[in-house]
Structure formats: structure tokens, C-alpha cells
Amino acid sequence: MSSVESLLAGPARRGVQMTTLDDGTEVVVKSGEPSAIAAEAAGLRWLAEPGTVGVPSVLGEAEGRMVSTRVPEARADDAAAERFGRGLAALHAAGAPAFGSPPPGGPVHAWIGEARMVNETGADWPAWYAAHRVLPYARQAFSGEDLALVERACARFGDVAGPPEPPARLHGDLWTGNVLWVGDTAWVIDPAAHGGHRETDLAMLALFGAPGLERILAAYDEAAPLANGWRDRVGLHQLFPLLVHTVLFGGGYGARALSVCERISRS
């Protein structure tokens, strides 16, 4: 048994631990790079603010360490998927000051998983997305003709991005492993939260296949209709996570990213 204060003051053990507080509350203790922990804590608080989806409560934070409530995982059902779609639409609608804006109190130099992510702001989504979410990772992953292909695709973003959208309040790393299901509620964890395009969160959900994905998307679209042609733009919005995965893991992610860039550059 422990208190939040003792967990924050104890010896740092990089990684994630589960424990129980004196009052019986089950908690997660996460330790790591101080800027990554600060970004995650700020992101959780920002995503929880509208009260639209389940978000663990941040109980305490210190340099490089955070204590949050534990979410017990179960299985998704149809009602939970539909509720999550509606909740995610409302979360996005809560908005952000600009594309790339960090959560209040969060660092500009943040993280997505184990990769660094800079939250520089911009007013034009296609230009901002190219400059701050695609090219930084493409330049780490590629060179020569491969990098030139990504750059040609970036030059076309304004033509293929669809109608302008206001900055949405994004989770930012919304792959299926960061969505936990409890009863009729979906909870989101491990955010890389920032202001962005709402279709990016949806595209990331689709990247590895979320339980009840089509029900999530249908409920989202009913609550906050997506612009025409949004399914044709999924690849554009998946470029960001694909390139991050290319930098972190290599493998076939780079080939998938280049295939998307080829389609965009020829569109």
C-alpha cells in the first residue's frame, strides 16, 4: 500500500508499474524522460476537460514521474463503440488554439511513443502537417529519391486535404492499443495530444484496426459529419504514424509510407 506522495518521492524505475494506494485505489506509476511525462500528464488533463470520453485521472506528477488511476480493461461491444464515436466527435469539437498547439502547461518539445514530436503551431493545416508531422520523420527515415518523393507529396497536400477544418483537440496517438474498453465506455491512454485535424485521429484508429471501427466511424459521422471524400484521405493522415513507426521500427512501415506518397504525388 502507498500514497501518491510516496510514489512520487520513491526511487525512479523507468517504465510502468501497477500498485494500490492506501485507500484501495488502483494506480499506474509511470517513470521516464521528464519532458515525455510532462507532455503525457498535460495531455491527459486536456483530454479529460470536456468530459466526453474516459480519461485516467492524473493524481500527481513530479520530475519524470506520474501517478494516474488505473483503467481495468474489458472487451468492446457495439454500444461502447458507438458511444466512443460520439464522444470522440465531441472531444475534437472542444478544439485547440492552433494546429500544433500543445495542451496547456505541456512542453513544445514533446513525444509520440518513443519518438520526439515538436508542437510548433501553424494556421494552415496542409503546410503545418508537412512541416511538423511528415518531413521531420521522413528526413530521419529516407534520403535520395525516397525523400524527394515525400517532398513531392508534401507539395500536393493543399490540393488533396479537403476543405479547411478548425483545429481539433486530438489524442494524437490513437491506435487501438491506446483505447481501453470498460463496460459501455472507451478510455484513452498514452496521448500525444495537440491541436490537429480531426481526421488524423480517425485514420490512426484505422491503421491497426480498432474493435468496432465501422460503428465508431458511423457514430462519429452522424454526430459530426465528416467532409466528403474523407475515406480517400485516410492515407494522407496515416503518413504521420507510418513515418514515426518507420523511424522507430523500420520494417515495412517505410514502404507503406512511400506508397501513400506515390498516390498523393500522382493525384
Average pLDDT across the chain, whole number: 94
64: left (phi over 0), alpha (psi -120 to 50) or beta: left
**Residue numbers of the domain that contains 169:** 71-266
Q: Please check whether residue 45 lies inside any domain of the structure.
A: no
Q: Please check whether residue 254 lies inside any domain of the structure.
A: yes
Instruction: With cut-offs at 50, 70 and 90, classify the pLDDT of residue 72.
Output: confident
Q: Please check whether residue 29 lies inside any domain of the structure.
A: no
User: Which residues sit opposite 115 in a β-bridge?
Assistant: 112
Q: Please check whether residue 150 lies inside any domain of the structure.
A: yes
Q: Specify the higher pLDDT residue, 16 or 202.
A: 202
DSSP string, the chain: -B-HHHHHHS---SEEEEEEBTTS-EEEEEE--HHHHHHHHHHHHHHHTT-SSB---EEEEETTEEEEE--------HHHHHHHHHHHHHHHHT--SSBTPPPTT--SEEEETTEEEE---BS-HHHHHIIIIIHHHHHHH--HHHHHHHHHHHHTHHHHS-S--PPEEE-S---GGGEEEETTEEEE-S---EEE-HHHHHHHHHHS--TTHHHHHHHHHHHSPPPTTGGGGHHHHHHHHHHHHHHHH-TTHHHHHHHHHHHHHH-
Which residues are tagged catalytic? 173
Instruction: With cut-offs at 50, 70 and 90, classify the pLDDT of residue 107.
Output: very high
Q: Please check whether residue 43 lies inside any domain of the structure.
A: no
Q: Please check whether residue 51 lies inside any domain of the structure.
A: no
Q: What is the CATH number of the domain that holds 107?
A: 3.90.1200.10
Residue 151 has pLDDT above 70, yes or no: yes
Kindly tell me the burial class for residue 93, based on how many C-beta atoms sit within 10 Å of its own C-beta (0-12, 13-18, 19 or more).
middle
Say what percent of the chain tops pLDDT 70: 98
Q: Please check whether residue 114 lies inside any domain of the structure.
A: yes
Mean pLDDT, residues 122-133:
98
Inter-residue contact 88 to 216 (CB < 8 Å): yes
- How many separate domains does the chain show? 1
Mean pLDDT, residues 56-69:
94
Give the angle 157-159-161 at the CA atoms, nearest 5°: 60
Three-state SS annotation for 245-260: HHHHHCCCHHHHHHHH
Q: What is the pLDDT of residue 206?
A: 96
Q: Please check whether residue 49 lies inside any domain of the structure.
A: no
pTM: 0.94
Question: How far, in Å, CA of 228 to CA of 34, rounded?
Answer: 41
> What's the sign of the alpha-carbon dihedral 167, 169, 171, 176?
negative
Give the angle 87-70-182 at the CA atoms, nearest 5°: 45
Mean pLDDT, residues 234-239:
98
Question: How far, in Å, CA of 181 to CA of 60, rounded?
Answer: 24
Residue 192, φ and ψ in degrees, nearest 5: -120, 60
Instruction: With cut-offs at 50, 70 and 90, classify the pLDDT of residue 6.
Output: confident
Instruction: With cut-offs at 50, 70 and 90, classify the pLDDT of residue 11.
Output: low
